[in-house]
Amino acid sequence: MKSKIVKYQFLYNTDVKNIEHLQSLLDSWIPIYNNQRPSISGNYLLTPKEVFEGVSTNTDSLKNSFHNARKERILFNQTNKCGVC
């Protein structure tokens, strides 16, 4: 997992109280990173799990994944205000 992705897309707006809280947050986020969030690096545009399993790119499925991920991000951002916006 890339630490820059964890930092800016997950932890940046999170108030981490202690190491146990951080571990709990990471435990909840790693499955999302590995199983739901498509990677845009390389030619894959697949989740890390799909790349590991050797899945080939299906463009229709990919479009649906991006569409669903966008909806999830918007909903998350609407329900988890950063306090600045």
What's the rounded Cα separation, in Å, for the pair 49 and 35?
A: 6
Determine, yes or no, domain membership for 36.
yes
| Domain residue limits at 71 | 3-79
How many CA atoms lie less than 13 Å away from 33 in the CB half-sphere?
17
What's the rounded Cα separation, in Å, for the pair 7 and 30?
A: 12
What's the rounded Cα separation, in Å, for the pair 66 and 72?
A: 10
Determine, yes or no, domain membership for 32.
yes
pLDDT value for 56: 77
Tokens of 32: 């999302």
Segments of the chain scoring below 70 in pLDDT:
1-3, 40-44, 58, 62, 83-85
pLDDT value for 58: 65
Determine, yes or no, domain membership for 50.
yes
Determine, yes or no, domain membership for 84.
no
Q: How many domains does the chain have?
A: 1
State pTM to two decimals. 0.50
pLDDT value for 44: 59
Determine, yes or no, domain membership for 24.
yes
Determine, yes or no, domain membership for 38.
yes
Q: How many residues in total does the chain contain?
A: 85
Determine, yes or no, domain membership for 53.
yes
Determine, yes or no, domain membership for 54.
yes
